[in-house]
Amino acid sequence: MTIEFAVIGGTGLTQIEGLEVIHREVVHTPYGEPSGPITHGMIEGKRIAFLARHGYTHNIPPHKINYRANLWALNSLGIKKVVAVAAVGGITSEMEPTRLVIPDQLVDYTYGRAHTYFEEGLTHVTHIDFSWPYCADMRNALLAAAKCAGLDVVPHGTYAVTQGPRLETAAEIARLERDGCDIVGMTAMPEASLARELDLCYASCSVVANWAAGKSDEEITMDDIQQNLLVGMANARALLRGLLC
């Protein structure tokens, strides 16, 4: 049975409710170990694969994730489509906590991450087209899934990818807003560009966990983030089931 798609789960999504687990597969890659074994399972009668980006016990911070191994492992299993679920902060007014966003653009502010497969043993230099970082087919599938599941999602947005693990200063968020960014998270890069290098059809379901720094009078607390993610990730799971409707 072919695997319909893989889900890379972020903070608040270390497992998928309703997934009948078939087995867990340890995959070794030329780039080292992925964040954990790949979980193979059935949902709504279809095969999917799941990987917890930060590890199944949520112990790998964004800048320490082996993005190359994660994407390589999924690709080596013949998976062609990937949905990346990620917690983000909301910058612009539409992006309020608990909302789901299907971003269509990103700006990369990360540094020092192993970010390409095209650097050693090359016969020629390769530059991928990354004008539109998210796969249109997968984005459309997510938008159709939202409709099918009766979920309200923001159908566009620019994701600012910061280094973390600290949250941003208010001045940094003001700068990201001037740069045209709507949401901010720490994991979309190099994940999205590595997926493109492997020719995987990759899109993001971003879940707004908090107002970004300086966007509300309240302090940003882990408790509030977790509360918002409980609601947001339940919607993200419903969206994933919608992909199979």
Does 167 bind ligand HPA (CB under 6 A)? Our answer is yes
Among positions 133-162, residues that touch ligand HPA (CB under 6 A) are 162
| Minimum gap (Å) between residue 44 Cβ and ligand HPA | 29
> Tokens 């899109």, residue?
203
Among positions 99-118, residues that touch ligand HPA (CB under 6 A) are none
* Span of 19-27, 30-38, 143-151, 207-215 interacting with ligand HPA by CB under 6 A: 207-215
- The Cβ of residue 165 has, within 10 Å, a number of other Cβ atoms equal to 10
* Span of 109-117, 137-145, 174-182, 209-217 interacting with ligand HPA by CB under 6 A: 209-217
Among 6, 8, 43, 209, binds ligand HPA (CB under 6 A): 209
Does 240 bind ligand HPA (CB under 6 A)? Our answer is no
> Can you tell me whether residue 6 is helix, strand or coil?
strand
Does 87 bind ligand HPA (CB under 6 A)? Our answer is yes
* Span of 66-74, 86-94, 127-135, 136-144 interacting with ligand HPA by CB under 6 A: 86-94
| Minimum gap (Å) between residue 100 Cβ and ligand HPA | 14
> Tokens 């230099």, residue?
125
Report residue 60 as tokens.
Answer: 């790998």
Which among 154, 170, 181 has a CA at the least distance from the CA of 212?
170
Q: Provide φ and ψ at 96, rounded to 5°.
A: -85, 155
Among 52, 145, 184, 236, binds ligand HPA (CB under 6 A): 184
Cis check: omega of the bond before 190, within 30 degrees of 0: yes
Report residue 13 as tokens.
Answer: 């999504």
Among 88, 95, 135, 194, binds ligand HPA (CB under 6 A): 88
Does 168 bind ligand HPA (CB under 6 A)? Our answer is yes
For residues 70 and 55, the answer to whether their CB atoms sit within 8 Å is no
H-state helical runs in the chain: 67-76, 136-149, 170-178, 188-197, 222-242
85 or 212: CB nearest ligand HPA: 212
Task: Rounding to the nearest 10 degrees, give the CA dihedral for residues 140, 146, 148, 151.
Answer: -160
Among 9, 36, 41, 89, binds ligand HPA (CB under 6 A): 89
| Minimum gap (Å) between residue 203 Cβ and ligand HPA | 18
For residues 139 and 203, the answer to whether their CB atoms sit within 8 Å is yes
> Tokens 């492997």, residue?
198
Alpha carbon 102 to chain centroid distance? Answer: 10
26 or 171: CB nearest ligand HPA: 171
Binding site for ligand HPA (CB under 6 A): 87-89, 162, 167-168, 184-186, 209-210, 212
